[in-house]
Structure 1
Amino acid sequence: MLWLDVGNTRIKWQLDSADGVIAGAALHGSGDTLAAAPIWAELPARTEVWVASVASATLRAQIDALCAQAGCASVHWAVSAAHMGGLHNSYAEPARLGVDRWLAMLAAWREACGPVVVIDAGSAITVDWVDEHGRHRGGHIVPGVSLLEQALRRGTAAVRAEPQTSRSVSPGVSTDQAVNQGVLAMAAGYLRYVLTEAWPGCASARLLLCGGDGPLLEPFLPRPASWRAQLVLDGLREYARLHEHRE
């Protein structure tokens, strides 16, 4: 079984056998990057593929073509549902909820079996709250650290900074520090505000954290979080299990 988590800036893949995960990687880039990955030359014939994608229709077509060329048995595209595995979607149009958020919540709900907040710190930061009854109470989508930096660079003539490397929010004594530590403070302050003031009902919920900037933001959370690097892929596996059970 091949599992693909196709995000806005990264593509994660894992290949399973009957004994568990046998290969996997995280790729930065687009469909061309995925096409160059070694997985396609090593993929066993008639492999089943499950995909979670928030990328463009063009990339979806590229993935379909790669799977066809590799002789895959079938390609399944996950979609957000009204309810699944005891988890209930809050959207009036369930399919409009990003499938990456839905799958991360599905994995988190299965693990927590109780109230949980999922923080996915990727290109965007998404925060979703699931209550003790498995009801999605809603969430937020805000710019991630790199998007905040990019917005600042695009919107100003003189402010230029190197990519984020700092893990401090202390006052910066150079432009690089002022930008990097400032945008980190913005993201960290947002998360602290939401989890301690804006959503008081989630105070007892477990925190599950994923996404490329998760380790950067984890020290600033108001209470400990469980790090789950593959949360969306874990949710995709649960989705496949539940989907096949329904059939």
Structure 2
Amino acid sequence: MQINPRRRVRSAVTVVALATVALLGTAGTALATRSDDRATQVVGENATTCEGAKLPGKVLPTSDLTFTGGTDNLLLNITAVGKGVTVTAIVVKGGHGYNVYVPGEKGLPENPPWTELRSPLNKGDQQAAISHWFVCGEKKTPPTEQPKPSEPTKTSTAKPPTSAPTTSKPSESSGTPTSTTAPAPAVDGNGGNGGGLADTGFDNAWLLWAGGLLVLAGAGVLVLLRVRRGKTD
């Protein structure tokens, strides 16, 4: 049985085409693997929102991120995120697709810094520059602290100053201080009443002698009366 030469040519072309398709598929797989093992590569598509990339969260403003590199650069480094920010995914677009980085997966740290993030390799098997990138996540606003009630102002009532007692000064109009106390009267020790009353000039010492004589006379009369009464008995 002879094989038609034309049929051989057709078979050879078919084998070559299948081999080319297989090689292209293998090259595409190798390209995705060599881009970055920490990322999931999406080939031939573009995304500008988290919803378009089928990722949870919303696009966070770059003001909530501290980063270097990015658009028109080969690499992106995110070193910090704002307070209350949770990152669910990072999308880096360039070339003919984009890479999706998920914190905590495929060796990417759960918390920043996330360094040397990149877009997929281009068709020439070279690192493509980043055309755009965005971060998906959410931001929780911390509760506002209620101001503490101000303490009532304590008012103090100032007491009036106590006035010091005033002392009267001696009159300066006269050379000597005025005395209000009268001098005690001089008592003469030779007065007839021993100084108890004012001396009138009358000497009453004879009354003492007269009284003494009357007492003696009375005593003599009593003695005589008893003598006579004894004789009559």
TM-score normalised by structure 1 residue count: 0.17
Q: TM-score, normalised by structure 2?
A: 0.17
Q: Which has the higher helix share?
A: 1
Q: Whose radius of gyration is greater, 1 or 2?
A: 2
